[in-house]
Every structure is written in structure tokens, then in C-alpha cells.
Amino acid sequence: MAFGGLTMNVTMEKFGYPATLVAEFDHWVVLARAAQPTLGSLVLAAKSEVTAFGELPAAAHAELKQATSAIEAALGKAVGYARLNYLMLMMVDPNVHFHVIPRYEGSREWQGREFVDCGWPKVPDLGHAVALEGEDLAALVSWLKGFF
């Protein structure tokens, strides 16, 4: 499906593209997750239709350096994470993507809401998340864009 000259795959659409778009690269988009297990949780999604990481073009692999560096700098400023987890789960959503989960001890507060890292210091608890929608999700997207 084409959107503004960009081919949108079903995984991008599932995670709210274009409304959740925080940053864009030639081969990747960075989207805010509506379900925030920790503050600043993102999806790094390939623009490609491929469903296997190894099938991405070499240029997409090379561009991961730029995308991950931008994510790490932005989330470092926004959230002050202790670790950053990149999870490539791809069990339900078929196109290549990572869930990017900032990890920290305790909690972070944003707009009067508390975001606790319930899994710290072990694996992230994706089932425990602050669900944002509508104006709240739009505010998160706008806030995160300011760090990119």
C-alpha cells in the first residue's frame, strides 16, 4: 500500500503508521508503541515487504547503524535508560521489525503517568504496559520526535 510515495507494509500499519511516526530513514521507520511497557518504547520497522531479516537489502542492514544510533541518542535524552533492548519477535506481525524497549530501574513519569519497568533487571514484561491512544498517543509521538 503506497502512502506519500512510501510503501507501507502491514506491520507498519499495525503499529499505527503514519500517526505514530517518530523518525524516518531510507529503509526504516521508527514508530511509537501505543502499548508502553516502559516510557519511550518504540518499533523499528523495515519499510520492506520481506519477512526474514536476512532477506533485507544490504543497504537496509547498513542503515541500521544510523537508525540505532539515532534511537539510542534520542531515548538517552528522553528517558535516561540504563539498557536498551532490541527484540525481534516477529510472531504475529510478519514484516521485519524490532521492539525497542528502554530499560531502567524503578519508574519514569510523563504527563502525570507512571511508567514502571516491571521486568527490571530481567527480561522486559511486555504484558505490563501503559496503553496510550488518541491525544495521549499523539502527545507521546510529538514529545519523542523532539529528541530525534
pLDDT tens, 94-117? 999 999 999 999 999 999 999 999
For residue range 2-17, list pLDDT tens digits in order.
Answer: 444 457 899 999 999 9
* CATH number, domain containing residue 21: 3.30.428.10
Cell 531502567 locates to: 104
Give 49-100 pLDDT, tens digit per residue.
Answer: 999 999 999 999 999 999 999 999 999 999 999 999 999 999 999 999 999 9
d(CA 27, CA 137): 24
The tens digit of pLDDT for each residue in 17-26 reads: 999 999 999 9
CA-angle at 60, arms to 58 and 64, nearest 5°: 115
Range of the domain at 16: 2-145
Question: How many distinct structural domains can be found in the chain?
Answer: 1
Q: Which residues pair with 114 in a beta bridge?
A: 109
* DSSP H or E run through 70: helix 58-78
